[in-house]
Structure 1
Amino acid sequence: MTATPSASPAADDNQLSLADRAFLRLRDRLIFLDIVPGMPLNEARLSVELGVGRTPLREAIKRLDSEHLVVTYPRRGTFATTVDITALSEISQVREVLEPLAAKLAAQRRGGRERDELETLARELDALGADELERDGALRWDNRVHRAVYTAAGNAHLQDTLERYSNLATRIWCVAADRMPQLQGHVEEHATLLRAVLDGDPDTAQAVMLHHVRDFEEHIRQVL
């Protein structure tokens, strides 16, 4: 694979607090299962790996706990949560309502302040080869596009809610991804979505996103 995107929107780490930096890096390790579900988090090792002290690291872990990505047990420590596949239906019910809304709002704003980023994503997707849309690359491209659309919607409360549910959905996708041959088509659908947003076509953006989310759940259910 020649190009795997950052799972997070482009951002200057220097503009983030140490706690925010630790949170973002650990969050992506957890949602892409680089930290195996059920694995204990070693604070001493993570502090060295992330280049942050114990205090900002613990702040990050507290946030991750609130997003159900880690769980802390008294006198036992902190562990990556298991992937709750049974929650797929409830997660999808929320996403089917809010994801199309985010796409519609983003299209009404034609991307708003994030227009340049969306245009860059659209160009990069058009230039991708099939080998760059294999399992890991496809998962990360999907996550990157969704996060960009959430931001472009211009509603911080909606963005925060969708990111939480998207993170949980991505963990389920990671469990099933090796058995899902349709990953390339799933990500290529983003090109249509991004174009609708950039063209200011809220109806199309909303419809494409709704189909995208429903298609995701259907494919997951076929292999689990």
Structure 2
Amino acid sequence: MTTAAVEGTASPASLAEQAYLTVRDRLIMLEIRPGDPINDTALAAELGVGRTPVREALKRLEVDHLVVSYPRRGTFATIVDITELADVSEIREQLEPLAARRAAQAASPAMRARLRETAGRIEGLAEPIDQRELMRYDITVHRLIYEAAGNPHLTDALIRYDNLATRIWCLVLDKVPSVSGHIKEHAELLRAIADGDAEAAGTMALEHVTSFEKTIRTVL
């Protein structure tokens, strides 16, 4: 599973989008390690695109605080700063419940069916499951809720902070006994949204974010 998907024949614009999504996925999952140099020529060859789409992608990723560029030194994956946990969590505690409530109120019938289908897949996950694969489910669920909320500005903000939170998760993933319970909490949340229960959805989304912060602090 990956958060980057390529559909159909790519135009120059979509090549840049493809590069952005693919590299973003690797950065937030720490497949590109914090502090690692990013060679745009090598990356372009690996992705099968030109250097221009990769450079455009890296500019967007710098805005997302996932890479940093230095004159005459190059571009590097940003360091994961654990001290940002409280600040990131503070924002997510406000925005994640908002998105969940809005999704419960605004989701289309087709989207509600997708939410239920995803909940069913999560409930059907059989142990043992690779920890990083579980984190990809976490990303997928959050993106689906943001899409269901139907507010692109809210989505942009939430994706940025969810990416930062996921990098923190992945940094300590080997120290956490299992994230299976954390991920499977999503099934109940998705069903509440699909059922249109905005109050329950907002409450569960808040509990999910606060549980994330407590788990991280426990292993630090």
Cα offset, 1:112, TM superposition: 5.9
Which residue of the partner structure matches residue 50 of structure 1? 47
Cα offset, 1:6, TM superposition: 2.2
Of 103-112 and 83-92, deviating more is: 103-112
Q: Kindly indicate whether the alpha-carbon contact (under 8 Å) linking 2:131 and 2:178 is maintained by their aligned counterparts in 1.
A: no
Which residue of the partner structure matches residue 140 of structure 1? 136
Please point out which of 7, 12, 17 is paired with 2:7: 12
Of 68-77 and 123-132, deviating more is: 123-132
| 1:92 match: secondary structure | helix
Please point out which of 18, 22, 29 is paired with 2:19: 22
Q: Kindly indicate whether the alpha-carbon contact (under 8 Å) linking 1:110 and 1:199 is maintained by their aligned counterparts in 2.
A: no
Aligned-pair Cα RMSD in Å: 1.6
Which blocks of at least 5 consecutive residues in structure 1 are unaligned? none
Residue 178 in 1 paired to residue 177 in 2?
no
Instruction: Give the AA of the match of 1:180.
Output: V
Q: Kindly indicate whether the alpha-carbon contact (under 8 Å) linking 2:3 and 2:21 is maintained by their aligned counterparts in 1.
A: no
Of 188-197 and 12-21, deviating more is: 12-21
The normalised TM-score by structure 2 is: 0.94
CA distance in 2, matches of 1:162, 1:200: 21
CA distance in 1, matches of 2:139, 2:123: 17
Which residue of the partner structure matches residue 122 of structure 2? 125
Please point out which of 181, 188, 208 is paired with 1:212: 208
Of 171-180 and 89-98, deviating more is: 171-180
Residue 223 in 1 paired to residue 201 in 2?
no
Please point out which of 64, 67, 91 is paired with 2:64: 67
Q: Kindly indicate whether the alpha-carbon contact (under 8 Å) linking 2:100 and 2:149 is maintained by their aligned counterparts in 1.
A: yes
Deviation sequence 1:20-64 (CA, Å, 0-9, x none) = 000000000000000011010011110011111111110000000
CA distance in 1, matches of 2:45, 2:111: 33
CA distance in 2, matches of 1:47, 1:110: 38
Residue 152 in 1 paired to residue 141 in 2?
no
Q: Kindly indicate whether the alpha-carbon contact (under 8 Å) linking 1:111 and 1:197 is maintained by their aligned counterparts in 2.
A: no
The normalised TM-score by structure 1 is: 0.92
Q: Which runs of 4+ in 1 moved over 6 A?
A: none
